[in-house]
Amino acid sequence: MILPDAVVLCEVGPRDGLQNEARAVPTQVKVELINRLSQAGFRSIEVTSFVHPRWIPQLADADEVMRRIERRPGVVYSALVPNERGLERALRAGAGGVNVFLSASETHNRKNINKSISETYPVLEPVVRTAKAEGLPVRGYVSTAFGCPYEGRVPVEQVVQVARRLVEMGVDEVSIGDTIGVAVPMEVTALVEALAAVVPLERIALHFHDTRGTAVANIAAGLRAGVRRFDASIGGLGGCPYAPGATGNVATEDVLYLLHRSGVDTGIDEERVGETADWLERALGRPLSSHASAIRRGRCGDGAAGAENEGGEGR
Ligand code: HMG
Ligand code: MG
C-alpha cells in the first residue's frame, strides 16, 4: 500500500465544535483556543461562522473572535458563510478563507438553511465569486453525503451532482461531510471513486463525525483512496444542531495518532495538541470525548501508561 508522505488537516473545532456546545463559551476561550491551535502547527483553521446568530447563538461573537485572533503567517483562518450577508460580515472581520455549505439531501438543507437545494445555488454563486475576486481560498461543504437524519441513505449520484455544481461555481476544494456519522469505510471508497470523476482527488477533503465510532477507519479508507485533506475537531467536539442524533467530529488527536503512527506527516505537534485538549477540558468544565483524552486522563489502559493506572476504569 502506498501512503502519502504528508496530508493537510483542517481543524474545525472552533466552528463545528463550539457551534454545538450546550453552555456559552467565553469569547476569550475561543480566541485562546485558535491561538494555541496555530501555535501547534495547524495551517488551516475554521475559526467561526457568519450565519444568523439566531440560528447558531453559540457563534454570535464571530466578528469579535475573527478580529481578536493572532495571525500567524501561512495559516488560513477561514469561516463558514451561508450567504452574501454572511460574506460581508466575514470580509469586514478579516476572514482569510470562505467556506460555503449545502446538503446533498433536501430535508436537511431546508432545516439547516431554510432553502431547497436548487434555491441554494444562486445564493452561493455570488458568495464564491466575490470571495475569489477578493483572492480568498473557497471551500464548499457537501453535508449529509452518507446519510440524512430525515431521509436516510443519500444516493451517491446526488452527492456527486452537488459537488459538481460547487466545482462549477469555482470552489477550490470540496469537503464531503458525514454530518450524522453513519459512513463505513467501504462507502467512503465508493464515494471517493465516484467523486473523482468530477473533482480532482487533490481538491477533495473528507469531514467525518464519529457517532458510530467509524470515523478514524473512514479516514484510513479515504487515505487509501487517494484523499489528502481531512477535517477534524480537537477533543471530538462538534455536531450540527440541525442534525438530530449526530455527535462530534472525529477527534484531531485520534487522527494525528493514526497518521503519525502510519508515517504520514501533518506538520502538527501532537503533544501540544494534547496539552491544548487538556486546557480545553478545564476551560469547558467537562471531559472531551477523544480516545487520546481518555488515555491521558489514565481512564484507559494503554501500554505502560495503562499499567501505571491502578484501578483504571476502561471505557
Ligand atoms: P433565513 O431566515 O431564511 O434568512 O435564514 P433570510 O435570508 O430570509 O434573512 C432573514 C433575516 O436574517 C434578514 O434580516 C437578514 O439580513 C438576516 P432582516 O432583514 O429581517 O432584519 N440574515 C443574516 N444576519 C446575519 N448573518 C447572516 C444573515 N443572513 C441573513 N449570515 C440562514 C437563512 C442561512 C441565514 C439561516 O438558515 C442560518 O443562519 N443557518 C445556519 C445554520 C447553521 O449554521 N448550521 C450549522 C452549520 S452546517 C454544519 O455544521 C455541517 C458541516 O459541518 C459539514 C457536515 O458536518 O456535514 C459544515
Ligand atoms: Mg460537521
Q: CATH number of the domain that 155 lies in?
A: 3.20.20.70
**Residue with CA closest to ligand 1 atom 1:** 114
Q: What is the pTM of this model?
A: 0.95
How far is residue 274's CA from residue 280's CA, in Å, rounded to a whole number?
Answer: 10
* Ligand 1 center from residue 304 Cα (angstroms): 49
CA distances from 248 to 155, 209, 220, 232, 284 (A): 24, 6, 18, 10, 15
**What would the mean pLDDT of 119-138 be, rounded to a whole number?**
98
**Residues that place a CB less than 5 A from ion ligand 2:** 16
Inform me whether the pLDDT recorded for 219 exceeds 80.
Answer: yes
The residue assigned the cell 431547497 is 116
Tell me the C-alpha distance between 183 and 179, whole Å.
10
Q: How many domains does the chain have?
A: 1
Q: By CB neighbour count within 10 A (0-12 exposed, 13-18 middle, 19+ buried), where does 121 fall?
A: middle
Q: What is the mean pLDDT of residues 254-267?
A: 98
pLDDT average, residue stretch 15-29:
96
Q: Per-residue pLDDT averaged across 2-26, rounded?
A: 95
Confidence of residue 299 (pLDDT cuts 50, 70, 90): low
Residue nearest to atom 48 of ligand 1 (CA): 240
pLDDT greater than 50 at residue 305: no
The reply to whether 313 falls in a domain is no
Q: Write the single-letter amino acid at 64.
A: E
- Residue 258 placed within a domain: yes
Whether 84 is in a domain gets the answer yes
Distance of CA 109 from the midpoint of ligand 1 (Å) = 11
3-state SS assignment for residue 290: coil
Q: How confident is the model at residue 300 (pLDDT cuts 50, 70, 90)?
A: low
CB of 165 sitting under 6 A from ligand 1: no
266 CA distance to ligand 2 middle (Å): 21
Question: 145: domain range?
Answer: 8-308
Asked whether residue 315 is domain-assigned, the answer is no
The overall average pLDDT reported for the chain is: 94
- Cα(239) to ligand 1 centroid in Å equals 16
Answer yes or no: is 2 within a domain.
no
Taking the alpha carbons of 15, 17, 19, 23 in that order, is the dihedral positive or negative?
A: negative
Instruction: Work out the average pLDDT over 90-118.
Output: 98
In-domain check, residue 1: no
Distance CA 87, CA 169 (A): 16
Mutational test site, ligand 1, from 51, 176, 180, max ligand atoms within 8 Å of CB? 51
Q: Give the sign of the dihedral formed by CA 147, CA 148, CA 150, CA 155.
A: negative
- For the annotated catalytic residues, the residue numbers are 240
User: Which ligand is located closest to the Cα atom of residue 112?
Assistant: 1
Q: Which of 18, 52, 123, 250 to mutate for ligand 1's pocket (most ligand atoms within 8 Å of CB)?
A: 52
Count the Cβ atoms, other than its own, within 10 Å of residue 39: 13
